[in-house]
């Protein structure tokens, strides 16, 4: 059987100029994120990239490999990724939250516990769920708020971790009311004591 007449060489193959950069960014993102379900993560990555949405990517490589283990607990980096994915809207559906949660290979029972604690309905207020996620990281009100500030800040890593005061008020008030042991006058007094520093 004779060989076909068409022979391909570098001059015959057109490579779009943006393709090498897209593949380079994709490869770096995959290495940093270390997804457990690579195919699903790839599909999600290119789907949100085509829509111009926030990519499901960690900002730095996790030396402990938390995304490679199954059933890992929520970490600050994972909560930050969830926040980037779900915070563009003030509310999200339970289905969207479940999809992102599963994509990070987090245990579903942890998500169900947080949903139960917050008594969320079909539409979930994202900032309230985020605050509850911070309690899963911190345990106490103070440490939860510290995690929230570190995740939400635009400051450089190691900086002050400042966030808008109204966001802090919202998170603190929600968690304090959820705690149930902090009287409203104590909440108001604490927030007014912070006002001169703002």
User: What pLDDT does 67 receive?
Assistant: 42
User: What pLDDT does 68 receive?
Assistant: 42
Categorize the per-residue pLDDT at 60 as very low, low, confident or very high, splitting at 50, 70 and 90: low
**Nearest partner of 25 among 48, 2, 5, judged by Cα:** 48
- pTM exceeds 0.85, yes or no: no
Residue 101, CA distances (Å) to 14, 47, 180 in order: 39, 17, 28
Q: Kind of pairing, strands 123-125 and 91-93?
A: antiparallel
Count of CA atoms in the C-beta half-sphere (13 A) of 111: 21
Positive or negative, the CA dihedral 126, 122, 74, 61 is negative
Contact between 117 and 157 (Cβ < 8 Å):
no
Name, in order, each residue with C-beta under 8 angstroms of 121's C-beta and a sequence gap of 6 or more. Answer: none
Stated as kind and residue range, the H or E segment containing 28 is helix 19-33
Given a cut of 80, whether residue 56 has pLDDT beyond it is: no
| 41 vs 95, more confident | 95
Q: How large is the average pLDDT for residues 67-87?
A: 75
Helices 38-51, 19-33: crossing angle, 10 deg rounding: 130
Q: How large is the average pLDDT for residues 3-32?
A: 78
Q: Which of 101-105, 113-117, 186-190 has the highest mean pLDDT?
A: 113-117
Categorize the per-residue pLDDT at 129 as very low, low, confident or very high, splitting at 50, 70 and 90: very high
Positive or negative, the CA dihedral 128, 125, 79, 102 is positive
Contact between 87 and 79 (Cβ < 8 Å):
no
Euclidean distance between CA atoms 148 and 144, whole angstroms: 6
């Amino acid at each position: 059987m004779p060989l076909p007449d068409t022979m391909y060489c570098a001059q015959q193959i057109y490579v779009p100029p943006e393709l090498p950069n897209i593949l380079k960014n994709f490869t770096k993102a995959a290495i940093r994120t270390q997804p457990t379900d690579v195919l699903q993560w790839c599909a999600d990555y290119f789907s949100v990239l085509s829509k111009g949405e926030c990519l499901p990517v960690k900002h730095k490589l996790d030396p402990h490999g938390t995304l490679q283990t199954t059933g890992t607990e929520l970490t600050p980096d994972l909560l930050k990724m969830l926040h980037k994915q779900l915070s563009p809207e003030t509310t999200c559906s339970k289905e969207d939250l479940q999809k992102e949660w599963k994509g990070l290979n987090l245990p579903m029972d942890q998500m169900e516990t947080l949903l139960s604690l917050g008594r969320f309905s079909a539409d979930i207020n994202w900032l309230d769920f985020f605050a509850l996620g911070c309690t899963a990281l911190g345990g106490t009100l103070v440490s939860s708020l510290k995690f929230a500030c570190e995740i939400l800040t635009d400051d450089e890593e190691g900086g002050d971790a400042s966030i808008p005061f109204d966001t802090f008020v919202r998170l603190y008030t929600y968690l304090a009311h959820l705690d149930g042991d902090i009287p409203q006058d104590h909440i108001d007094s604490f927030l007014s004591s912070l006002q001169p520093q703002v």
